[in-house]
């Protein structure tokens, strides 16, 4: 009888543990951890506002001087690109957000509690990936459309010919930019698991974000075409705005998609190994 009781108790305990660590419960737990702190709303909200404001201010500055431009320069003017300059802020804020979702728990010691409550560490990684992707995708789409509308409205107030979101080029750039917004937050999340250091992971993800742009004009054509074109930012730009600008670091969309997929698989794979094989 005692043996039967012990066996029954162990089975019930195992059943409770299994129910308590299902993926949906892990997802709900991660959602609470992300949405409870006010800093999440402040950071992402401020990033959205600053992105829209930056686009509007740049368009305001250009609109006020547009009449003094030469005819050739006016002919080369790209209202779609100009209205999306605020993406600089959006990408930085969302990338840092992705890093902190992982590295913040290591810094506070919360990761030990998280992995104790959810022994299957792959569920923790998957839940964070889903939430970071979903949140930044929604934020990216809303912010990209708002930047476009704000920028075009400012330019139109100066009598400048503007683009419409119904245009194919505008749709590809604006909606494409919103769709690829989760790329760097995911890379930041992976680097947060790998490096376990907020400063190190932020530096690394911002390097992936900007190095190809910073050095694109400073190196010969061969490194641009065969090295800088392999960076994730170059590939992302190839998918969204590469058709609007002639730049040697941009590649064909299928190649760009393959490059982005390779970066995601590589860094998330390393993050998986780091999370499952190292102590918290």
Q: How far is Cα 6 from Cα 121, in angstroms, rounded to an integer?
A: 28
Cβ neighbours of residue 42 closer than 8 Å, sequence gap 6 or more: none
User: Which residue's entry shows tokens 């094989």?
Assistant: 277
Whole-number pLDDT of residue 46: 94
Q: What is the mean pLDDT of the chain?
A: 86
Q: Judge whether 40 and 34 are in contact, CB under 8 Å.
A: yes
Asked if pLDDT for residue 244 goes beyond 90, the answer is no
Q: What percent of the chain is predicted at pLDDT more than 90?
A: 54
180 pLDDT above the threshold of 70: yes
Integer Rg of the chain from CA: 23
C-alpha 252: how far from chain center: 21
pLDDT at 73: 87
> What is the pTM for the complete model shown?
0.87
Residue spans of the domains in the chain: they are: 22-277
What's the burial of 21, exposed, middle or buried (CB within 10 Å: 0-12/13-18/19+)?
Answer: middle
pLDDT > 60? residue 2: no
Higher per-residue confidence, 186 vs 116: 186
């Amino acid at each position: 009888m005692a043996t039967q009781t012990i066996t029954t108790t162990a089975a019930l305990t195992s059943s409770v543990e299994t129910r308590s660590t299902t993926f949906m419960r892990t997802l709900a737990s991660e959602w609470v951890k992300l949405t409870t702190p006010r800093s999440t709303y402040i950071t992402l909200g401020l990033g959205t506002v600053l992105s829209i404001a930056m686009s509007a201010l740049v368009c305001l500055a250009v609109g006020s001087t547009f009449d003094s431009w030469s005819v050739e320069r006016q002919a080369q003017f790209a209202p779609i690109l100009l209205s999306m300059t605020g993406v600089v802020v959006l990408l930085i804020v969302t990338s840092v957000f992705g890093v902190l979702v992982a590295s913040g728990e290591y810094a506070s010691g919360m990761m030990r509690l998280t992995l104790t409550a959810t022994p299957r560490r792959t569920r923790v990684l998957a839940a964070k990936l889903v939430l970071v992707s979903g949140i930044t995708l929604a934020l990216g789409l809303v912010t990209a459309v708002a930047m476009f509308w704000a920028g075009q409205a400012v330019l139109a107030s100066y009598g400048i010919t503007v683009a419409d979101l119904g245009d194919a080029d505008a749709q590809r750039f604006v909606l494409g930019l919103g769709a690829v917004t989760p790329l760097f937050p995911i890379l930041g999340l992976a680097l947060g698991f790998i490096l376990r250091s907020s400063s190190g992971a932020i530096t690394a993800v911002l390097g992936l974000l900007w190095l190809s742009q910073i050095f694109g004009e400073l190196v010969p054509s061969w490194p641009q075409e065969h090295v800088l074109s392999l960076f994730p930012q170059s590939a992302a730009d190839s998918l969204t705005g590469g058709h609007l600008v002639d730049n040697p670091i941009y590649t064909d969309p299928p190649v760009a998609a393959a490059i982005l997929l390779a970066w995601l698989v590589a860094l998330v794979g390393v993050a998986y190994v780091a999370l499952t094989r190292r102590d918290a």
